[in-house]
Structure 1
Amino acid sequence: MPDVDNRGGQGACPRCSRNLRYLGSATEVEPFWNRIGAFFRYPFHTDPLMVIAICTLVPLALSANLIGLVVSLLLAMALLKYTYAVINHTAEGHMAPPPVTTAFSGEGFSIVFLQLLVFIGMGALVTGAAMLGGPLLAMLALALVVLTLPASIMVLAMERSALAAINPLHLVGLIARIGWPYFLLYGYLVLLTLASGAAQDFALTHFSPWLAGTLAGFLNSTFTLILFHMLGYLLFQYQEELGFASDLQDEEGPQETSQRDPSQRLDADIDMDLKDGHYDRVQGALISALKKDPDNRQRLEQLFRLLTARNDNRELYRHHIALLGWLADTHNGAGVADLLARLEPISPSLKLDDPELAERCARCLYHQGEYRKALALLQDFHKRFPDSHSLAPAYVLAAQILANGLDQWEKAAAFLGFVKKRCPNHPLHSQVDDYLQQVARREPLKGPRATFTISD
């Protein structure tokens, strides 16, 4: 559907005009396991780096008092708010991070309190399991909570509801719709968490407390952004299964309808009509397109292939001038020979009225080895086009065909003599003597040998 409104997610079927369901990038998005490198580069864009720097370094510079505690808590909330913005931003198709102002604007902090409620609910679930069934049931409940935590984060980011984020039916439903890739992502997240913990432990062990705290905070924030970006991308990748549609937003936007290439719509219609067997409709569309753009090589090729496949020789005859011109332009000697063979029953004595086209087609046939067909196109060339600039190259070509292809040296010499006598002002005239010498020696007629002599 090359001409629908991608930005508005609207489009109508070109056959029945019914509204289509928009799929966004669901059918062409790259799987997340092919983008691991991009995930790790994500936090090192300018905006997330600024958020990480502010939320990590500022608390370390504050005094250990009530004001420092409040500011540190607010910055932690801003970082958590930014990570949820990363999920939504990525799920909408933005592969570039959200701006730094997203973390510190006055809106959206409710997600922090919702996340706190989710953690309280999960803790209550594990505690209740311990009270009812002892340590074994508590361990099972904890394992379930850990397994569904990524799904809970995604549900909370999409629905902004703490109840939905701890509802087992919602979580299991999300995991079921995504399928096995959820568990693959879960494995990546586990490795990511272990790597983050190991890096922070190394920093705390080998560096001074102030530097270790800075590095640990930076690493924790960085790995958190990577994790949340991966969760958002999983939503984006499985948008169709999850019931929404998004497009890649950071690339060049879709063109406005007035700027779209109408040939894309024609290509799509041709493709559908061919598959449906509506060949007359395809033929009519191609002929109409060629009336507007007679030199369009793509449409000429499509028309030629369609008409030859249908054995519609009469329609080929109607368009043979344009088709022969296209075949000559593409140096398709086999196509020229095939088309002329198809036209022979309809017009046994077919003559081309365009001298340049006749010479070009004859040259294609010569290189294809169709010597007699090439000569037929050049027959009586001097009578039909006595003043044509193509006369000299046409008769030099005829001499090459006779000498190189048919071994008729005397006739080749006659054609060359005609060019020498009748075309004294043509650039080829200076080469005729070389050709005649080659004829005399019964050598294949080629152009004059290159010389690298520099005249004084």
Structure 2
Amino acid sequence: MTSNHNAPATARHAEIVPFWNRLREISLYPAHMGALTTILVLALCHLVDFLPLGILGWLLDLLIWVALYKYAFECLRATANGRLEPPEIAVSVDDSLGWSQIWLQVAFFALNVVAFWLLGPIGGAIVTIVLALALPGAIMSLAMDENLGLALNPATWIAVMTRLGWPYIAVAGLYFLFGVSQRYAQAMVVPFLPTFLSVIVIHFITNYVVVATFHLMGYLIYQYHDEIGYEPAAASATPLRRAADDPDQRFLDEAAERVRDGKPEAACDLISTQLRGRGGSEAMHAQYRKLLALLGRREEQLRHGREWITILIAQDKDRRAVDVARECLELDPAFELAEADEVTRVARKAVDVGATQVALKLVSASYKRHPRHADVPQNCLLAAKLLAERMGKEETARKLLDQVLQAFPQHPLRDEVVAYRTFLDKLATPAAKPA
């Protein structure tokens, strides 16, 4: 892979949870709403196979595969840059990369066939194992360099394996295991389904596994970016700071040392003590959350999330507050902010960055807990607009607005709520057809 910088590997890896401690999160990555919607829609698109289109149907099916790989590469790149939630759409990846993945697979298959033809069963089996081991490295090279020739070069595979060592072998093994699990799941489910439904299920499982494996490879790049000379570019990724950049670097370094010594609990306690005693930088809070996740301390993650969101709001870091709220909602869908006064600000920022579900869940939890809070009308109006305009749930939006009008008859926003309620009624009324 192309080298972005020449910094040596340092203790900075301690700030990144190793992939072997995130296998559950990696396997559930495609279950996030953004990815789940994409893989389901692409699975449904394969129903084109049932249309009598001949060669055109085959071409349309191929385009669906290209779209899947394009999205998978988007996930791989996002993960390599430190963004651990799937993007909703592929915006930074060109269609050509999806086609390159198709050609990469064709080339590997052709090499395998030729190996069996020239070398016989034993030699062919050996080549199969070698190619299976090399495929993740070829895909990672293709994702980062967008060069099919480079990805097909055995020297590239060897370079990636050499730089990463046993973690690469482990990821290659997991890649194979994901593939086996995919086929097993399909074999268990498909025989009991009608043909058209089995097509959807087969491709849904395939799409799920492809996205999960590409996320796994992206995380390997993220975790070992120093070894392969790659600089994560995501602004939302936790900064890898030097001692002069972060006032709490000495505590981070000491915590990292304890993690390397196999004492993550001690590292977590150290940072917890510092945060409670004198506060800490964003890197301290982020590392504390990673350690809590590593140790499985769910309730402490939620408690810290509430506390940190309050701090982030005070520092005008609303975008980061949305990210923390999303993490907490994934742990507990009923997660609430520490103060009802914070909901409006975080929810509005969530809408601005496209996190619709985060905004709706925060508003819903706050409304249930504080139904008479002064911010309820504006929060529910915001939620009604999201329900109607982004989710097509006009009836739910109308009921929500009716509850607000009944509970707050004299509120200053009443006229605005009534106006939007009337607008929804007009949408629900069919236009009169001309005679």
| Structure 1 pair 202–183 and aligned structure 2 pair: CA distance change class (3 A) | same
SS of the equivalent of 1:246 reads: coil
- Amino-acid identity (%): 27
DSSP-derived class of the 2:230 partner: coil
Task: Identify the residue that residue 192 of structure 1 maps to in structure 2.
Answer: 178
Query: Which structure is higher in RCO with an 8 Å CA cutoff and minimum separation 6?
Result: 2
Q: Match for residue 163 of structure 2?
A: 177
What is aligned with 2:46? 59
> Unpaired runs of 5+ in structure 1?
1-8, 11-18, 256-261, 272-296, 299-456
Which of 133, 136, 140 pairs up with 1:150?
Answer: 136
Equivalent residue, structure 2, for 1:206: 192
Q: 1:252 to 1:20 in 2, by over 3 A?
A: closer
Residue aligning to 2:89:
100
Spell out, residue by residue over 1:117-165, the C-alpha distance to the aligned partner (whole angstroms, 9 max, x if none): 3234334433444454443332222221111111111111111112221
- So what's the TM-score if we normalise by structure 2? 0.50
Aligned amino acid, residue 32 of structure 1: F
Q: Residues 242, 113 of structure 1: CA spacing in aligned structure 2 closer, same or farther, 3 A cutoff?
A: same
Does 1:36 pair with 2:37?
no
Deviation at 1:190, TM superposition (A): 2.3
Q: 1:58/1:125 Cα in 2 relative to 1: closer, same or farther (>3 Å)?
A: closer
Shift of 1:220: 1.1
The alpha-carbon deviation at position 23 of structure 1 amounts to 7.3
* Aligned residues of 1:43 and 1:49 also touching (Cα < 8 A): yes
Higher Rg: 1
The partner residue of 1:49 within 36, 42, 53 is 36
The residue type equivalent to 1:39 in the other structure is I
Aligned to 1:93, what secondary structure does the other structure show?
Answer: coil
C-alpha deviation, 1:181, in angstroms: 1.3
Q: Given the two structures, how large is their TM-score scaled by the length of structure 1? A: 0.48
> 1:326-341 counterparts in 2 under 5 A?
none
Partners of 2:108 and 2:245 lie apart in 1 by 56
Q: Assess if the C-alpha contact under 8 Å between 2:190 and 2:202 holds in 1.
A: yes
Cα separation, 1, equivalents of 2:234 and 2:146: 23
User: Cα 1:89–1:206, aligned 2, differ >3 Å: closer, same or farther?
Assistant: same
SS at match of 1:97: coil
Partner residue of 1:74 out of 50, 63, 71: 63
What is the DSSP-based 3-state SS (H/G/I as helix, E as strand, rest coil) of the residue aligned with 2:16?
coil
**Contact 1:25 / 1:248 at 8 angstroms: preserved in 2?**
no
Paired letter, 2:52: A
Distance in 2 between the 1:150 and 1:220 partners? 17
Taking the aligned partners of 1:94 and 1:201, their CA distance within structure 2 comes to: 34
Distance 1:22 1:132 in 2: 43
| Whole-angstrom CA distance in 2 between matches of 1:189 and 1:136 | 23
Given residue 110 of structure 1, which amino acid in structure 2 is its aligned partner? S
Structure 2 CA distance for partners of 1:210 and 1:163, relative to 1, 3 Å:
same
Aligned mates of 2:76, 2:183 — CA distance in 1: 22
Q: Distance in 2 between matches of 1:70 and 1:133?
A: 34
How many angstroms apart in 2 are the aligned matches of 1:224 and 1:96?
A: 16
CA contact (8 A) 2:12 2:240 kept: no
> Structure 2 counterpart of 1:59, which letter?
H
CA displacement, residues 331-369 of structure 1 (integer Å, 9 cap, x when unaligned):
xxxxxxxxxxxxxxxxxxxxxxxxxxxxxxxxxxxxxxx
- Corresponding residue for 2:72? 83
Q: 1:188 to 1:245 in 2, by over 3 A?
A: same
Superposed displacement of residue 170, structure 1: 1.2
Name the count of aligned residue pairs. Answer: 249
Deviation string 1:186-213 (CA, Å, 9 cap, x unpaired) is: 2222222121111111121122222222
